[in-house]
Structure 1
Amino acid sequence: MCEAAEKDLYAVLGASSSDSVQQLKHRYQQLALQYHPDRLGGEASSEVESAVKKFLEIDAAWRILGDQNTRRQYDLQRRAQELKQDWPVDSTVYLEDMTWDQDECVYTYSCRCGGGFTVSEEEVEEETQRRQQADEEEETEDEEHRGVVVCCDTCSLSVYVTWSLQNKSQLLKCQQ
């Protein structure tokens, strides 16, 4: 699915992420009929080759978006990629200021819209390890804080959640 994440699979089907599975299936069926190699029997080989490529692209998009689990995974990858873009960050929030949810093993912080920002313990640990490895490779330890950009689950605001490595022992709450 990594290769597919580079292309907008919804655009391949001429659809949007808010479309239902039935709408996606209908778009897929229309495009599959239009570009199916069997329908282009007598045309020039370059046109057939182009149609086959388009058909395979459409089919690959449908295989991912037609299944609930792979679609959810794809949507999460798209959202993560969008978060990596240089979007304005509303504010910085310190992990210590967030509320710990023991049942879910996540940190939460309320947004002004009434929604919330959520960071899992796994995300904190992964980012901490990733940044420590980067520091070791560069042989520098000048950066004591780590962080991730998190979007509100309701509105378009995002915050930069940061934490200090010196407080790392306090962060491992779920594993204890």
Structure 2
Amino acid sequence: MSPGVLFGMCEAEKKDLYAVLGASPSDSVQQLRHRYQQLALQYHPDRLRGECSSEAESGVKTFLEVDAAWRILSDQNTRRQYDLQRRAQELKQDWPVDSTVCLEDMTWDQDECVFTYCCRCGGGFSVSEEEVEEETQRRQQDDEEEGTVEGQNRGVVVCCDTCSLSVYVTWSLHRKTPTSKWQQ
């Protein structure tokens, strides 16, 4: 295994590579390839030349994450190893996490100031803007104290209001605030 793949595997323990590609662990390699190609075209550095420097930098970072996720998930052996690590991590948790959801994929409810996401049981998951901000600040402080690399995704486990399922809601530290993004 190349050093780049090993580094990617270490990073993979902290990030859901399927979520990076907007995919599911049950997706075929062809489905993963399709998602990778869509995202690679969208965030490729050559496509972002006219953007402002912060948007271009964010796009390049996303492109590198997508590319790293694809390198691991496209190879049968590294995908199997990643899936085993992922499953081992899930077994260590005290709650049944059904899936990982990106905050950007949740619906912003301006009246309640919460993000919502529908559960397969018909219930819903919700996380407040305040919870997101508190978790982001807490993690930033932890990163500063531990000297951790910035820019990693952050997240919280959110329980369904009807059944026993939970989802892990993730977001980037460098995201726009919900009110500025979703009120437009």
TM-score w.r.t. the length of structure 2 is 0.47
TM-score (norm 1): 0.49
**Which structure would you say has the larger Rg?**
1
